[in-house]
Amino acid sequence: MTIQEAKSLLSNIQIDYASIPYPKYLHGNLDDLENQYQKLNAVKDQLKDDFAYVRLLNSVTQTLERMRRTSGYSSWINASERGINKAIPPVLRKANNENILPFHWESEKSGELCSITNGYWSAKNYMVMDFVGYIFLLKSGGDKLPQEVSPLFDGFDSIKKRELELDANGNGDPNESQKSRYTISFSDKHFRKFTKMKMSSSSIFNLLLETSRVEFKLAFPVRLIMGEGKKGKPAMEEKWYPMNVYSRLFEIACINTDVRKDGIVQKRQYRLYFNTILAELFVHNLLTRNYDWVNSDLYNLPPSAQVFYRRFLLHHNYPKEQLSMSLIIREMNFTDKNMTNLVRNLEMNTLNPLVRRGLILSYEKLEGLNEEKYVFVLPGKKKQEKEQG
């Protein structure tokens, strides 16, 4: 398509979009706007420097996002704890079943050597921790978000002391008094409601069990109070604590509440115990509001798109983000040595789904001083504090 043809298309879409009454998300046709969005995205290369094009693309994207929300496209929002998203990379089982565990990496933020063993980590495991974290917040606040910041730790010394206590009692398998310190209970029904995933009871149980068994030795970002801030509120700062032992995120127990005559379990009730140092750091961050909000429809995107959004975009409100190719490869744990294939898969399976979902407005690959980089234009985020029961 020529520049003139692209500009003519832009003009026609501008006229159609301007004719939709306000508020546009209530009066627009979802299918028509989806079609306009696809046409706009197709002429990105010709019009990416045209201000009118960028403004219209942003407006259509945000209208689509709101229409999807109000039409039931997304009907639940979960709290996603930042430490998990920042500290844990995806570690996937190889196609040939080659054992790569324990898997080691160097933390980009702290420079500490980290490792994972006794299991792999994928988009579904991140999803489990979103669900688990939100259930914990609702329990702590009495079926709503806690009103006050209530940290477990006041600094690295208190974390270290607790880590030693738990390790002395067998980190991950303490006695009953410690075991009941932080717990949550829920059913299969809760899991399906919060995640919008149509999973059988057995699939839910297996995913929870798999997530509970993975062991980590991490540099973990912890939100700590560093004095008094504005209006008398505590000033918070993120510090990366280097764990000294392997630790799990929770322990699990369950009761079968509905079993068919043939022995198939149809319903289960679960209890999770946050009884390790990593689990308590996770709880601490939740209680200091160190989390972001994600829509449950994120879980329907391709796994690499979900992980990319968590690792690089979810935890900030910048209008633009710039990432080097080497950083993307390292943090996403990409292993394809063919750079042409890697870039194609990155854009097709990771970036384009995020653009279609409105989580990225646009992106551009540029030549940097020493390597290629991507520049992303991102939508603004509004603070979401839903009280969901």
pLDDT in tens, the chain (389 residues): 788 888 999 999 999 898 887 667 767 788 788 888 888 888 888 888 888 888 888 888 888 877 766 555 545 789 999 999 999 999 998 888 888 999 999 998 889 999 999 999 999 999 999 999 999 999 998 888 888 899 999 999 999 999 999 988 765 554 544 445 799 999 999 999 999 999 999 999 999 999 999 999 999 999 998 877 777 677 889 999 999 999 999 999 999 999 999 989 999 999 999 999 999 999 999 999 999 999 888 999 999 999 999 999 999 888 999 999 999 999 999 999 999 999 999 999 999 999 988 899 899 999 877 889 999 999 876 554 444 44
pLDDT the model gives residue 255: 95
- Predicted pLDDT of residue 70: 59
Q: Who contacts 91 (Cβ-Cβ below 8 Å, separation ≥6)?
A: 100, 101, 103, 116, 120, 121, 122, 333
Alpha carbons within 13 A on the beta-carbon side of 346: 21
How far is residue 17 from each of residues 14, 26, 50, 300, 307, measured CA to CA in Å? 5, 13, 17, 28, 33
Cβ neighbours of 82 (radius 10 Å): 20
Distance of CA 260 to the CA centre of its chain: 36
Instruction: Tell me what pLDDT residue 174 has.
Output: 43
pLDDT of amino acid 171? 57
Determine the CATH number of domain 301-389: 1.10.10
Contact 76, 297 (CB under 8 A): no
Residue 110: the pLDDT is 87
Q: What per-residue confidence (pLDDT) applies to 23? A: 67
Question: Which pLDDT score is estimated for 178?
Answer: 47
| Residue 127 phi, psi (nearest 5) | -60, -45
The answer to whether the beta carbons of residues 270 and 254 sit under 8 Å apart is yes
pLDDT at position 26 is 66
Please state the length of the chain. Answer: 389
Residue 182 one-letter amino acid? Y
Q: How far lies 301's CA from each of 270, 309, 353, in Å?
A: 27, 10, 7
Region of 295 please: left (phi>0), alpha (psi -120 to 50) or beta.
beta
pLDDT at 103: 96
Q: Which residue has the tokens 């972001």?
A: 292
Domain ranges in the chain with CATH number 1.10.10: 301-389
CA distance 225 to 233: 10
pLDDT at res. 224: 95
pLDDT of residue 387: 43
For the entire predicted model, the pTM comes to 0.79
